[in-house]
Structure 1
């Protein structure tokens, strides 16, 4: 455990151990803070990530730095972040303190200049984001919002929305979850468990319907209706 404490010099093995322990500890801390921490970078998330990153980086880059202090500090910050998340979920005043309100950037085809300045974004950036959402005319937008996480969401006026099969009264099949069941010649056990089928069932389906050995299948999928589809085999040319 000498690698855990500050020293004048560390061996290669001790540096490796520091890296492994630091990585596992940071992964555990991130897991404790929750998926929200990595799914969207809010103001408080950004600050926490900067602090934790700088704290952990010191002992991983300097042999003179011990790991106990940074680990304790990171643990304290993780607990504080977790408590802050709980408070934002339960108390509106606390949430307003750390999470900015949603801003209306466009309403009925008109840009709200004041809110654009509050969000500190330019018209050029706004138009660029809209183009990435395949929206090319501001006049067609019913409302566009600047979300607390920094994303821009836009909704067209109903008359400009694409026509759906329901609008045309076209019969449709219900949605069915699809998973990869064979990948590069190997059967995925998680898909078998999810859809309640056995390896023998997959093998029978391949033998009777496709007549392709499983080891030659690059990609095959299975859905909730137990429909097996072979997407690509080694015989297919790319």
Structure 2
């Protein structure tokens, strides 16, 4: 099967900036109390559902959220489209398994996971392809499993040119919380919590955090 252009473009972009990205954002979570709180809440919910639960971060980059989720007690696996990002994640967090892969074809069986995190990783997918992504999240989640999403709020995409001086560019799609909530609901993952905070630091838009849960049969 031929790979869609947007996946190839995303891989090339993140392979190109991986080292600079990892260096710049390695310790950023320390100054982001809301993000830390949302990760802790997600970990608590997943562990409460099943103490030996397995989870995955989809679009994990260099593992800057996967590592903290592991320290919060989750058996978590990181997945990213960029081989260089996965290489850096393995170096930074040797205690966590990481794999190169796509959110369109996750390397897990049906109902194998109790938690899935997509932290600013659905934002490079064209809107018409997002239902496929949410269907894949629903497939790998067990009944009672939790999905956490984080993304920038807005209508217009941000087109980023030559980040860190690298000769690459990519669209970062901003999303409306109600739009994402509807996608999750249609995939059989009703939203249980929606939080939006105002921009901080050099952020340009509000930031959203959604929690959804696969109903128990």
Question: Which of the five TM-score ranges fits, normalised by the shorter chain?
Answer: under 0.3
TM-score by length of 2: 0.18
- The TM-score, its normalising length taken from structure 1, stands at 0.17
Computing the radius of gyration from Cα coordinates, the structure with the larger value is: 1
Higher relative contact order (CA 8 A, sep 6+): 2
